[in-house]
Amino acid sequence: MKLFDVYPLFDISIVKASGSSLWDANGKKYLDLYGGHAVISIGHSHPHYIEKIKQQLDQIGFYSNSVKILPQEELAAKLGELSGYKDYQLFLCNSGAEANENAIKLASFQTGRKNVIAFTKSFHGRTSMAVAATDDKSIVAPVNETGNIQFLPFNDEQLLEKSINKEVCAVIIEGIQGVGGVNIPTPSFLKKMEKLCKENGALLILDEVQSGYGRSGRFFAHQHAGIKPDLITVAKGMGNGFPVGAVLISPEIRSKHSMLGTTFGGNYLACAAAIAVLDVIKQENLIDHAMQTGNKWMNDLRKIKQVKEVRGQGLMIGLELSFPAAEIRKKLLTEHRIFTGASGKNVIRLLPSLAVQQNEIERFTDAFEKVLSKVEVKI
């Protein structure tokens, strides 16, 4: 059987990983500054993480038959404490897309409405909101275009005020837009959104799948704006590579049996991975580390004259060039063995482990300057 070819792939096979380092099948070492789309939060193969998963696997990996799964309760308690959302409720699932679908479903149950407001350049997974991350309409299934989803321009308070009404069940926004180019909602936009949602009886959903789990220098990016959403979705960094996602649900939303459901969500192994991630984030103070290293790094990157704009918060960084980034990323990989990400044509995305070290950051900045100096003639 052949693999269904939906991803452009580098001809590299990774066989080993540790911290921010990767090794290919030929023993070549690479620096990973992308972490598989922001998934690697505490670093590859962290010893505590491996130990926790192994211990759990020795006991039980998966079981689901209407029994209490104790690690789910430990996970909920630790997540509540570290995120500052102790009074919220937790629904566990397997991915960011699933978390967002469930959040929309909850908002619709809660309000009895079906219209949703999202924003241009947003990305909420391959869900019913899966438009807008791309200009390539050929990959947006017609079914996604027929829903009651309205896409508004980002950071436009007036238009939001005009568009929201008592038929809207939810407004969904990313803590920081990732796939759409690392765009940060202004605190004033988020505050206005929170107020308008309350006035209109709509729920506010913060998609923190990419920007959450400490990446922005706060547990959630929206905490920089001091707002409190009704629903928060997480995945990616939550499991450091183990597939796990969740919805954090306001205490005002009452649960009902069979309202939501999942086969694999919250299984023993997923919980062990997610608990280990929270332990390491706390023990190693990775949220402060993300804030400090990220801010310093962005200041250094702003000094590079070929970079049009540096956008980001903590370790979620976008470097906008005034020319296509593909060649630069290719050279970083082939000449300097550094993995980066992209967004659209001109933006390089940096989403390293939250434990990335200063010498690794300097290695990137140095390599980036070298590569840019060679393409200067093309600008």
Beta bridge partners of 249: 89, 231
CB 166 within 8 A of CB 200: yes
Distance of CA 150 to the CA centre of its chain: 22
CB of 355 to ligand PLP, least distance (A): 21
In the region spanning residues 254 to 283, those forming contacts with ligand PLP, defined by CB under 6 A, are none
Q: Which amino acid is at 42?
A: I
CB 107 within 8 A of CB 255: no
**Cβ distance to ligand PLP smaller for residue 99 or 271:** 99
Query: How many residues touch ligand PLP (CB under 6 A)?
Result: 15
Chain residue at closest Cβ approach to ligand PLP: 96
Q: Which stretch binds ligand PLP (CB under 6 A): 117-125, 158-166, 307-315, 350-358?
A: 117-125
**Cβ distance to ligand PLP smaller for residue 342 or 371:** 342
Contact pattern for ligand PLP over residues 310 through 339, marking x by CB under 6 A? ------------------------------
Among 56, 83, 110, 210, binds ligand PLP (CB under 6 A): 210
With CA atoms as reference, report the closest residue to 41 among 277, 206, 252. 277
Our finding on whether 235 is near ligand PLP (CB under 6 A) is: yes
Distance of CA 64 to the CA centre of its chain: 28
Among 72, 95, 115, 313, binds ligand PLP (CB under 6 A): 95
Among 33, 69, 97, 290, binds ligand PLP (CB under 6 A): 97
Our finding on whether 206 is near ligand PLP (CB under 6 A) is: no
Q: How far apart are CA 14 and CA 34, in angstroms?
A: 14
Our finding on whether 124 is near ligand PLP (CB under 6 A) is: yes
CB of 96 to ligand PLP, least distance (A): 2
Our finding on whether 237 is near ligand PLP (CB under 6 A) is: no
**Cβ distance to ligand PLP smaller for residue 93 or 310:** 93
Q: Which stretch binds ligand PLP (CB under 6 A): 76-84, 120-128, 317-325, 328-336?
A: 120-128
Q: How far apart are CA 106 and CA 129, in angstroms?
A: 15
Among 32, 101, 174, 194, binds ligand PLP (CB under 6 A): 174
CB 169 within 8 A of CB 114: yes
Distant-in-sequence, close-in-space partners of 58: CB < 8 Å, separation ≥ 6: none
**Cβ distance to ligand PLP smaller for residue 124 or 329:** 124
CB of 178 to ligand PLP, least distance (A): 4
**Cα angle at 317 between 272 and 193, to 5 degrees?**
85
Strands (E) located in the chain:
14-18, 21-24, 29-32, 89-93, 115-119, 149-152, 168-174, 203-207, 231-234, 245-249, 307-313, 316-321, 338-339, 341-343, 347-350
Q: How far apart are CA 318 and CA 288, in angstroms?
A: 20
CB neighbour burial string for 180-210, b if at least 16 within 10 angstroms, e if fewer: bbbbbbeeebbebbbebbeebebbbbbbbbb
**Cβ distance to ligand PLP smaller for residue 120 or 357:** 120
**Binding-site ranges for ligand PLP (CB under 6 A):** 37, 95-97, 100, 123-125, 174, 178-179, 207, 209-210, 235
